[in-house]
Amino acid sequence: MQTPGHIRRGQLLAWLRTHDPELAATRRAARTALVMPALFAFCSQVLHSPTMATFAAFGSFSMLLLVDFTGPMVQRLRAHLGLAMAWAVLICLSTLVADETWLAVITTVVVGFLVLFSGVVSSVLAEATTALLLAFVLPVASPAPLSQLPERLAGAGLASVGAMLAISLLWPRPATDPLGPHAARVCRAAAAQLRADTHRLSGEPDAPSIRQCMDTADQTVAAAADLRTAFDATPYRPTGLSTSSRALVRLVDELTWLSTIVAESGPPHRVPSACDPEAHAVRRGAAAVLDRTADLLDAPYDAPTALRTAAVDLHAAMTAMERSATTRLPMQPPEPGAEWESHSFIEALDLSFRAQELGFATLQVANNVDLAAAAQRRSWPDQLLGREPGALTGPLASARERAAAHLRPNSVWLHNSLRGTVGLGVAVALADLTSVQHSFWVLLGTLSVLRSNALNTGQNAARALGGTIAGSLIGAGLLHLIGHHGTLLWFLLPLAVLIAGIAPSVISFAAGQAAFTITLVIMFNIGQNPDWHIALLRIQDIGIGCAVSVLVGLFFWPRGAAAAVDQALAEAYADSARYLAGAVDYAVGLCGSGPAPADTPLPEKSQAAAAARRLDDAFRSYLAERGPKRMPLADMTTLVTGVVGLRLAADAVLGLWRRGSEQPIEADRAEARLVLLEVAGRVSGWYRDLAISLVRHTSLPDPLPRDPAAEARLVDALRRDLRDESGPATATAVRIVWTVDHLGVARRLQPTLAAAATPGRPS
C-alpha cells in the first residue's frame, strides 16, 4: 500500500514530466545545484579567494544551466572543452578593456555581434551563445587590475572541470534527439499503411478490409500530428542552422507532407479492376525504405548500409515502373468522328503517378535522415564550423557561406544579433555613467529580457521586475529570520539553485527570476553579516537593464518575428515558384529532338533552398516568442509546410527528367511544350501572387480550378508519342503527363493554403 509520502512524490514527478518533457530542465538544475555551491564553497572557504569563487560559481552556472550540448558523450565533452577555451579568451579580453568605458563599449559591441551572429554557423555555437556572452559580460562589468586575471581564469577553469565531470557522471543526457522517436513512429506507421493499402489494391483473397486500412491510416495521421505537436512544443533550439538540425526541421515538414501523400494514395472503397504490379512494387519498396529510415532514426550512429540498399532498390523499382507505365495507356485509336478521350489517358497513369510521387517523397525523407545521421558522425572541426558531410569546400569556407546567407536586411538572425549587440553596448555605457555598484546585473537584466519584438520585451521586463521584487522581498525576509546564523545559508544555496534552474521552464519566467534573485542574495551574504540592502540594489540594477531592453526593442525591428515570418514566407513561396517554373523549363528543353540542356545545377533550386532556410529560422523565432499570435499556429504551420510541398513538386519534376534516358526521336512536341509552359506559368503565378499578399496583406487570389481543356490539348498534342506505329507510347510522353500531374499536386495545395492565410488577416 502506498503511503501519502509516496503518493505526493508520484504526483510531483508526474507534474514535472508534464511541465518539463524529458526532464531536461530538472536534469540541468540538479547538476548545477550540486556543482555550483560546492565550487563556491571550495574557492571561498578553502582557497579564500572571493574572485575565484565568483567566477567558479557563475562559470558552473553558465556551463551547466545555460547549455545542453547534444550527441554522444565524446562530442559533448569536446564542446564543453571548446566552451572553456572560449571562456578563457573572453575573460582575458574583457579584463583588458574594462577600465576604459569607450573601449569597453566598442569591444562589447564587436564581441557581442560576433558571438550572437556566429550561432548561424553551427548548432554548437548557437547553443553556447548565452554562456559565451556571460563570460564576457561578467569581467567587463567588474573592472579589476590585471593581477586578478589568474584568479579569474582559475575560477573559470574549475567551473569547466566541474561541468565536464557533471555531464559525464551525474544523470547523463540521452544521446538521441527527443524528436527522433516521434519521427520514427511516423515512418513505421506510414510503412504499415502502405503495406496494408498495397495488399488490398492487389485484390488478393486475404487482403485487409477497408476498415483495417482506415485504422492504419488513422495511426499514421495520429503519429504525424504527435510529431508536429512535439516539434512545436520543444523549447527553442538552434534548429535550422547546422546540417543535422536543419535536416530535423525539414524532416518534420517532409513527414507531414509524406503522410498527406500516403493518405491520398490509399485504396478506394472498391478495388480497381486494373492492376499495376510495378506501382505496387514501388509502394512496397517505399515501405521498406521507411522501416530502415525509422531504424536509423532510432540509432543514428549505426552504419546506414541497410537504408541505402533499400533506397537503391526503391529507385530501381521506380525506374522499372516508369519504363512500364507506357503499357498502361489505352492504345486503341478513337473511332472515326469520336472525341479523343484525354481524361482516360490521364487517369490511366494515375496509379503509377501516385506511386512515383510517393517513392520520390520517401527517397527525400530517407536522404534527409541519412544526411542528418552523417552530420552527427562528423569530425569535431566540421561540426563546430557547420561543414556539411561530403562538402567540397573546407570548414572555414562552409562557415563563411552559411554566415553570408544571413547577411541580408530581412534576416531574423541578423536582426536579433544587432538588437542584442546594441542593447549590451548601451547597458555597458549606462552602467558606467550611473556608477551603479553592481553593473553586471544591469547587463544581465538587458540580456535576459531582450526579445525579438517590443511587445514581448516589455512583457518580459514587467515579469523580470515583478520576479525581482518578489525574490528580493523573500530574500530579505530570509536574511531577517536567519540573523547571525549565516551557516544556514550554505544549506539554502543548493535548494535555491535547484529552484532557479527548474522554475523558468516549469513555472514561469517571473518565477525563475525570483528564484535567481534569492540565489544571488544568499551567495552575496554567505560569510558576511546578512545585509538586506543588496536586494534593493538588485531591483535598481535589473530595472536599468530592463529599461535598456525596452528602448532597444522599440527602435530596432519592434514588430519582431511575426513580421519577419511573413516576409520569409513570401520569399520562400516566390523563390519556390520560380524553382518550379525553372524545373518545367528544363523539362521543356528535353521534350524536343534538339540538343538537351546542360545538366548543371539550377540556380533557382539553390535560391529556393536558401529561402527555405531563412524561413526555418524565422518560424523558430516566431514559435519562441511569448504572447498571443496574430495567426493560429495550425494555420502558420500549414503555410510553412506548403513551401515544402511546392519545393518537393519542383524537385520531383527535375528528378523525373534527369532520370530520363530516352534517345531523341523526331516528334513534333511544340504544342505539348506550350501547354506545359502555360500550366506551369499559371500555377507558379498563383504562388507569386500569394507571396505578394502575405507581405502586403492584400486579398488572396482564388485557387486555380482544374483545366480539362489544357489536358485535352496536351494529350492531343502527344498523339504520336502516345500511340505511335509500333504500339507503345514513348517514355518522354509519359514524363510529360507526369509533369502535368506534379503541377496538379501544386495546384491542389492552393485551397488549403488560401484558407490558412485568410483567418486573422487585417482588412
CATH number for position 591? 1.20.120
Q: How far is CA 421 from the centre of its chain?
A: 24
Burial of 610 (0-12, 13-18, 19+ CB in 10 A): middle
Band of residue 273 on the pLDDT scale cut at 50, 70, 90: very low
Cell digits of residue 73: 558523450
Highest mean pLDDT out of 255-259, 483-487, 576-580: 576-580
Query: pLDDT-based confidence at 593, cuts 50/70/90?
Result: low
Q: Is 461 inside any structural domain?
A: yes
Given this model, what pLDDT does residue 532 score? Answer: 57
Q: In the structure, what pLDDT confidence band is assigned to residue 440 with cuts at 50, 70 and 90?
A: low
Residues 461 and 505 in one domain: yes
Lowest mean pLDDT among 477-481, 548-552, 759-763: 759-763
The grid cell for 152 is 579569474
**Residue range 354-368: average pLDDT?**
83
| CB-based contact 405:610 (threshold 8 Å) | yes
Does residue 24 contact residue 65 with C-beta atoms inside 8 Å? Answer: no
Which range among 244-258, 281-295, 547-561, 577-591 has the greatest average pLDDT? 281-295
Residues 136 and 185 in one domain: no
pLDDT at 455: 42
- Do 187 and 161 belong together in one domain? no
**Final residue of a structural domain among 173, 207, 236:** 173
Same domain as 686, residue 552 = no
439 or 675, greater pLDDT: 675
Q: What is the pLDDT of residue 761?
A: 46
- Are 573 and 685 within one domain? yes
Residues 123 and 198 in one domain: no
Task: Identify whether 512 is part of a domain.
Answer: yes
599-607's contacts with Cβ under 8 Å and 24+ in sequence apart are 599/658, 602/654, 604/575, 604/578, 604/579, 605/579, 605/650, 605/651, 605/654, 607/575, 607/578, 607/579
CA distance linking residue 291 with residue 313, whole number of Å: 14
Mean pLDDT of 723-738: 65
The C-alpha cell that represents 46 in the structure block: 578553502
- In single-letter form, the type of residue at position 55 comes to F
**Assigned domain for 396 exists:** no
Above 80 in pLDDT, residue 27? yes
Mean pLDDT of 122-132: 76
Co-location of 154 and 188 in the same domain: no
The CATH number assigned to the domain holding 261 equals 1.20.58.220
Q: Which residues of 126-152 are buried (b: 16+ CB within 10 A; e: fewer)?
A: bbbbbbbbbbbbbbbbbbeeeebbebb
Model confidence, pTM: 0.64
Instruction: Assess whether 186 and 121 both reside in one domain.
Output: no
Q: Are residues 433 and 552 in the same domain?
A: yes
Q: Which of 140, 173, 206 is the last residue of a domain?
A: 173
Q: Is residue 389 part of a domain?
A: no
Please, are residues 556 and 447 in contact by the beta-carbon 8 Å criterion?
no
Task: Tell me if 253 is assigned to some domain.
Answer: yes
Least confident range from 23-37, 337-351, 591-605, 671-685: namely 337-351
Answer yes or no: is 667 within a domain.
yes
pLDDT tens digit string along 297-329? Answer: 888 878 888 999 999 999 888 888 877 765 555
Residues 6+ apart with CB under 8 A from 404: none
Question: In the block, which residue shows the cell 569546400?
Answer: 393
Residue of 301, 349, 341 whose CA lies nearest to 324:
349
Q: How many CB atoms lie within 10 A of CB 663?
A: 8
What's CA 11's distance to the chain center, in Å?
33
Amino acid at 231: F
In this structure, is residue 386 part of a structural domain?
A: no
Q: Are residues 167 and 224 in the same domain?
A: no
Tens of pLDDT, residues 605-622: 888 888 887 787 777 666
Q: For 205-234, what is the mean pLDDT?
A: 77
Q: Are residues 525 and 592 in the same domain?
A: no
Q: What tens digit of pLDDT does each residue of 54-71 get?
A: 899 989 988 988 888 776
Of residues 579 and 440, more confidence is placed in 579
pLDDT(383) > 70:
no
Packing angle between helix 180-201 and helix 243-264, nearest 10 degrees? 30
Return contacts of 629-633, CB within 8 angstroms, 24+ apart. Answer: 629/562, 630/562, 630/760, 631/759, 631/760, 632/759, 632/760, 633/232
Q: Domains in the chain: how many in total?
A: 4
- Rounded to whole angstroms, the Cα distance separating 753 from 758 reads 9
What is the band of 85 on the pLDDT scale with cuts at 50, 70, 90?
very high
398-407, 412-421, 553-562, 725-734 — most confident range: 412-421
Residues 6+ apart with CB under 8 A from 23: 16, 17
DSSP 336-386: TT----HHHHHHHTHHHHHHHHHHHHHHHHHHHHHHHHHHHTS-HHHHHTT
Asked if residue 605 belongs to a domain, the reply is yes
Structural domain boundaries, residue 696:
561-757
In the listed set 495, 525, 558, which residue is the last one of a domain according to the structure? 558
pLDDT of residue 237: 43
Rama region for 599: left / alpha / beta (φ>0; ψ in -120 to 50; rest): beta
Q: Which residues have CB under 8 Å from 481's CB, separation 6+?
A: none
Percent of the residues in the chain that have a pLDDT greater than 90, as a whole number? 10
Are 164 and 78 found together in one domain?
Answer: yes
